[in-house]
Amino acid sequence: GIQVEQSPPDLILQEGANSTLRCNFSDSVNNLQWFHQNPWGQLINLFYIPSGTKQNGRLSATTVATERYSLLYISSSQTTDSGVYFCAVRGGGSQGNLIFGKGTKLSVKP
């Protein structure tokens, strides 16, 4: 099956700093989503981005499907950005389920 690798596994930032999270995947995909999991476990859907670039406030994402990677940019980070960020993909041969990476744990310090 498709392998999803996220980097870095852990990231500590000072409030106000910018960061880039990376997601590499091993095969072509027809769906890629970025999620933020808050301390209560809730998965917040950040982007549905199988290709191209999208922006939502301080967050933006770019997926280069031909090169099998996606990037999540967080600008002017805030303490509320802390949590785990997951990249998840769906391959063409799947039943529609997403395969998750191991996540990047982000800690933003005041």
Partner 1 sequence: GAVVSQHPSRVICKSGTSVKIECRSLDFQATTMFWYRQFPKQSLMLMATSNEGSKATYEQGVEKDKFLINHASLTLSTLTVTSAHPEDSSFYICSATTGNSPLHFGNGTRLTVT
Could you say which of 12, 97, 107, 109 contacts partner 1 (CB under 8 A)? Answer: 97
Could you say which of 63, 101, 106, 108 contacts partner 1 (CB under 8 A)? Answer: 101
Within 13 Å and on the Cβ side, how many CA atoms surround 93? 4
Could you say which of 3, 12, 48, 76 contacts partner 1 (CB under 8 A)? Answer: 48
Rounded to a whole number of angstroms, the minimum distance from the CB of residue 14 to partner 1 is 24
Q: Taking CB under 8 A as the rule, does residue 43 contact partner 1?
A: yes
Q: Taking CB under 8 A as the rule, does residue 86 contact partner 1?
A: yes
| List of residues 6+ apart from 30 with CB closer than 8 A | 50, 90, 91, 92
Q: How many residues bind partner 1 (CB under 8 A)?
A: 22
**Residue number, 96 or 110, with CB nearest to partner 1:** 96
Q: DSSP of 34-83, one letter per residue?
A: EEEE-TT-PEEEEEE-SSEEEEETTEEEEEEGGGTEEEEEE-S--GGG-E
Q: Taking CB under 8 A as the rule, does residue 78 contact partner 1?
A: no
